[in-house]
């Protein structure tokens, strides 16, 4: 008696842990590979961008595509056409079936011609992937407020690496993270070469002083979520400005919060040894965080994912 073939509809989804687009093919995330000679690996000669999907909808997809393409242009990389990139991101999410996802697009320098060290001979490589949503600061940490330190490690100079181009030059950021963990904190913010507050590992930082929201305007990535915070402040009638902030001003602020694609608006309750707001998230930080996510539910800047095959 023959054994019936399994029904494809009842088989586990091989992309459930994530899907990737590599070298023109879609593969489960565990099978995604990058050649070891690619300068994206050997030299960090690469740019990328991250967009999230929440409840089945991309958030600010076109803004992230704009920034990614600008970054590629600044690094003289040649990614696929915008429509192809958008299609690959959509397809990765569709294959995974994820309703809440962390979605990344990447363009590497590629490998040069054999025997060459000339970047003009490299064939650039594009890849993308979607994995389950990642929190830079976990929901549990956000409830009590993140514990932040101001790192002794300075941010890499913008004269060397353009901070408006999303990059993998994370040596300073990783060093700062270890410093935070050694001091039993959750994360760190770095200062720039002049001693002003810059950014943290994957996020912008904000302080609230006398009802005004302030955030560093130089030596930082021009965050898409930072732009969302500005829009929310305008909606609430809260003054917002990009400016220089000293470490002491951050420590003495009424409130501090962070923003990133991988976590949204994230309140802080401690900066170095100073406790803010009775060791709890501040009222404006919470109001901005709650409004940020409630507007997601309303379809704010949303691009729906079509999950039908």
- The series of mean pLDDT values per 10 residues for the chain, 309 residues long, is 53 94 97 96 97 98 98 98 98 98 98 94 97 97 98 95 95 98 98 97 97 96 98 98 98 98 98 94 98 97 94
Question: Cβ(239)–Cβ(211) under 8 Å?
Answer: yes
The domains of the chain, with CATH numbers, are 11-132 (3.30.470.10), 139-297 (3.20.10.10)
Single pTM value for the model: 0.94
CA distance 15 to 95: 6
CA distance 15 to 129: 11
Q: Helices 82-96 and 61-74 sit at what angle, rounded to 10 degrees?
A: 130
CA distance 116 to 82: 30
Q: What percent of the chain has pLDDT over 90?
A: 95
CA distance 254 to 261: 24
Would you state the structure tokens that stand for residue 265, as one six-digit string?
A: 């608006």
């Amino acid at each position: 008696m023959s054994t019936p073939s399994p029904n494809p509809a009842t088989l586990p989804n091989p992309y459930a842990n994530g899907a990737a687009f590599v070298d023109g093919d879609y593969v489960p995330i565990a099978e995604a590979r990058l050649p070891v000679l690619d300068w994206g690996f050997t030299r960090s000669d690469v740019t990328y961008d991250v967009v999230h999907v929440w409840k089945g909808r991309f958030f600010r997809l076109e803004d992230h595509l704009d920034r990614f393409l600008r970054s590629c242009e600044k690094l003289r990389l040649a990614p696929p056409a915008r429509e192809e990139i958008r299609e690959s991101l959509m397809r990765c999410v569709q294959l995974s079936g994820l309703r809440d996802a962390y979605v990344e697009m990447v363009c590497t320098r590629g490998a040069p011609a054999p025997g060459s060290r000339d970047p003009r001979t490299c064939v650039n490589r594009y890849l993308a992937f979607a994995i389950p949503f990642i929190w830079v600061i976990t929901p549990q940490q956000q409830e009590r407020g993140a514990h932040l330190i101001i790192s002794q490690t300075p941010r890499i100079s913008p004269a060397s690496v353009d901070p408006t181009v999303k990059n993998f030059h994370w040596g300073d950021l990783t060093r700062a993270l270890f410093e935070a963990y050694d001091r039993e904190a959750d994360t760190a913010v770095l200062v720039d070469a002049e001693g002003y507050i810059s950014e943290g590992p994957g996020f912008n930082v904000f302080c609230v002083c006398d009802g005004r929201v302030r955030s560093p305007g130089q030596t930082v990535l021009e965050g898409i979520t930072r732009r969302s915070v500005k829009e929310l402040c305008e909606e609430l009638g809260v003054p917002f400005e990009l400016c220089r902030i000293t470490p002491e001003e951050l420590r003495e602020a009424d409130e501090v919060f962070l923003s990133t694609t991988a976590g949204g608006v994230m309140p802080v309750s401690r900066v170095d040894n100073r406790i803010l707001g009775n060791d709890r998230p501040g009222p404006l930080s919470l109001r901005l965080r709650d409004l940020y996510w409630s507007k997601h539910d309303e379809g704010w800047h949303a691009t729906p994912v079509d999950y039908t095959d």
